[in-house]
Amino acid sequence: MKPSSASLLLAVSLAACPARRAPPVQPVDLPVAHPQPVAQPAPPVAEAPAPAPESPMDDQRAAAQGLNRLGTDLYARLRSQPGNLAIAPGSIALAFGMTEAGARGETLAEMRRVLHSGLDPARQSAALGALSARWNGGLGEGVTARTANRLFGHQRYTFEEPYLALTRSLFAAPLERLDFARPEPARQRINGWVAEQTMDKIRDLLPGGSIDGDTRLVLVNAMYLRAPWETPFPAYATRDDTFYVGGATATQLPTMSRSGRLSVASGAGFRAVELPYRGDELAMDILLPDARDGLAALEAQLTSERIQSTVAALAPTQVVLRLPRFRVETGSLSLRTALTALGMSLPFSRAQADFSAMANPPSPDDRLYISDAFHKVFVDVAEAGTEAAAATAVVMARAGAAAPMAPPTVIAVDHPFVFVIRDLRSGAVLFMGRVLDPRPSR
């Protein structure tokens, strides 16, 4: 029996190791050795209460620093692919944070190294839970923000109650039982939930064939953001202007324009400009290479420390900014190869993964490992503001101020660039990516 894989906009799927024959699976509520097949669907899930984890802001900032490092590590591994690129480090960190909480031994140690989990496990989970709660509606007046977590588990598989209690209380992630013996309805249910949470911006996170009879658990985070600029771009100022697609091809594209006081910084071969969102809780930073073909050189130095030092150097300047409308929409990205290359191999090993804090069945053939992890992102930037969404799924299977007058600085974003959307209070990077071609579906 082949191992299962599942994808979700940042979805981690866990499976159990494949066996020569399918072992009987115990129900969660009846400790019997040989349960009969269940004909009825699982009862509807009750929504978890909103979490209120106790976590000091210093811990949240430490967790944010770790997820930023994870984000730039993954970006470096994914940037060789063609076209536009976007990831949501916040979403990835929440999905894998729930997964890390169920790991033990060397599996846990590997995950903590790759995820840059700098706090002890209990504080790490509490800090991530607090960030998730903050991002679920607490990002300022006029900002629509939603982050939702859920576990989709096999209807007859036994999970450890302390793990379920932790994910409920800290991540507001209830367990919903599904019949993975009927993979397609299960896949459609998970995809439908993600679409609902992301205002239909993330569809079909889990592709056909990603769920099979070996799937035991899919851990999902979905994130949605609609944020107006503090100062919108006037619609009357938008006009067609030249953008050098891919750094070479001159193309006429709708380009927004505004003037005013913005924070600007210069780096090694690039300039940065920050656009605040209403409420002073979020901002977008545009990193523009000095050279039209300078994106690769900029990406090569794009670490979390570089982003942090650039942000620290921002200073208010009178600016004329020209920025194309842009949309970046990725397909479902598998993160397995990138994470393995970063040193996370044991969690993906059918023979060696240890998720015994999540589920500890008596048979080794029914223990969990990560079969794949998928991520999908949508970002749309226009005159009024930004709309963005992301989802992550981990699939586990059976292994089986007034300024003096001065000439303004003109920043014309007319060639490929990097964007970063940050939570200003914690410093967490929620979304980041590159734009080679601002037009949709490129």
Domain boundaries in the chain? 11-19+54-228+329-397, 235-325+403-435
Mean pLDDT of the chain: 87
What size, in residues, is the chain?
442
**Residue 46 pLDDT level (bands cut at 50, 70, 90):** very low
Kindly state the average pLDDT of the residues 293-305.
98
pTM, two decimals, is 0.88
Q: What is the pLDDT of residues 371-413, one digit of tens each?
A: 889 899 999 999 999 999 899 888 887 766 444 556 889 999 9
Torsional class of 430: left (φ above 0), alpha (ψ -120 to 50), beta (otherwise): alpha
Predicted pLDDT at 422 = 98
Predicted pLDDT at 141 = 84
**Residue 435 pLDDT level (bands cut at 50, 70, 90):** very high
Q: What is the pLDDT of residues 182-233, one digit of tens each?
A: 999 999 999 999 999 999 999 989 888 888 889 999 999 999 999 999 999 9
CATH architecture of 11-19+54-228+329-397: 2-Layer Sandwich (3.30)
Cα dihedral 421, 150, 84, 199 in deg (nearest 10): -80
CATH of domain 235-325+403-435: 2.30.39.10
In whole angstroms, give the CA distance from residue 237 to residue 239.
6
Kindly state the average pLDDT of the residues 343-347.
97
Kindly state the average pLDDT of the residues 131-141.
90
Predicted pLDDT at 440 = 86
Instruction: Look at 87-96, 229-238, 391-400 and tell me which has the smallest mean pLDDT.
Output: 391-400
Question: 38, 168 in Cβ contact below 8 A?
Answer: no
In whole angstroms, give the CA distance from residue 379 to residue 435.
11
Tokens of 63: 């967790």
Question: 255, 238 in Cβ contact below 8 A?
Answer: yes
